[in-house]
Chains A and B, each alone.
Chain A
Amino acid sequence: MSSALQILAPDGSVVGELPGLSDAELRELFVHMLQIRCMDGRMLKLQRAGRIGFVGTATGLEATLVGAAAPLRQDDWLWSGLREGGAAVMRGLPLAEYVAQMYCNANDTAKGRQMCNHFQHKGTNYPSWSSVIGTQITHGVGAAFASMRRGEDTVHAIHFGDGATSSNGFHSGLNFAGVWKVPAVFVCTDNGWAISVASSAQTAAKSFAAKAPAYGFPGVEVDGNDVLACQSAMADAIERARRGEGPTMLVLKTYRMLGHSSSDDPTKYRADEEVEAWAKRDPIARFERYLIERGVVSEGERADLETQLLVKIDAVIHEQEAAPPMALKTLVEDVYAEVPYHLRREYNDFIAVAEKLGHAQPGDGAFPL
Chain B
Amino acid sequence: MANLTLIQAVNDGLRTVMKADDSVVVFGEDVGPKGGVFLATEGLTADFGESRCFDTPLSEDGIIGTAIGMAMNGLRPVAEIQFQDFIFPAFDQIVSEAAKLRYRSGGQYTAPMVIRTPYGGGIRGGLYHSQSGEAYFAHTAGLKVVIPSTPHDAKGLLIASIQDPDPVLFMEPKALYRSVKGEVPEGEYTVDLSTLRTVRQGGDVTIYCYGAMVPVVERAAAQAAEQRGIDCLVVDLRTLMPLDEEGVLEAAKQTGRVVVVHEAPRFCGYGAEISALIAEHCIEYMEAPVRRVTGFDTPFPNTLEHHYLPDDRRVLDAIESVYDF
Contact = CB atoms under 8 A, between A and B. Distances in A.
Contacts of B166: 336-337
Interface in A132-168: 132, 135, 137-147, 149-150, 168
Given A122-B109, A172-B62, A176-B62, A336 B74 contact: no
Given A138-B66, A149-B51, A176-B66, A109 B106 contact: yes
A150 B66 CA distance: 16
Q: Is the interface of A mostly helix, strand, loop or mixed?
A: helix
Contact of A128 (B57, B108, B164, B165): B108
A120 B69 CA distance: 15
Contact of A145 (B69, B109, B165, B194): B69
Interface in A301-351: 330, 333-337, 340-342, 345
A130 interface: yes
B102 interface: yes
Interface stretch (B3-11, B88-96, B199-207, B315-323): B88-96
A139 B72 contact: yes
Contacts of A111: 106-107
B85 interface: no
Contacts of A142: 65-73, 77
B70 A176 contact: no
B56 to A, nearest CB: 7
B108 A138 contact: no
Contact of A335 (B72, B102, B245): B102
Given A130-B100, A140-B69, A141-B66, A168 B75 contact: no
Candidate in A77, A144, A146, A173 with the most chain B CB atoms within 10 angstroms: A146
Contact of A113 (B51, B77, B104, B109): B104
A41 interface: no
Interface in B76-134: 77, 89, 92-93, 96-97, 100-110
Interface of B: 25, 51, 56-57, 59, 61-62, 64-75, 77, 89, 92-93, 96-97, 100-110, 141-142, 144, 164-166, 194, 242-243, 245-246
Interface of A: 77, 108-111, 113-114, 118, 120, 122, 127-128, 130, 132, 135, 137-147, 149-150, 168-169, 171-173, 175-176, 179, 330, 333-337, 340-342, 345
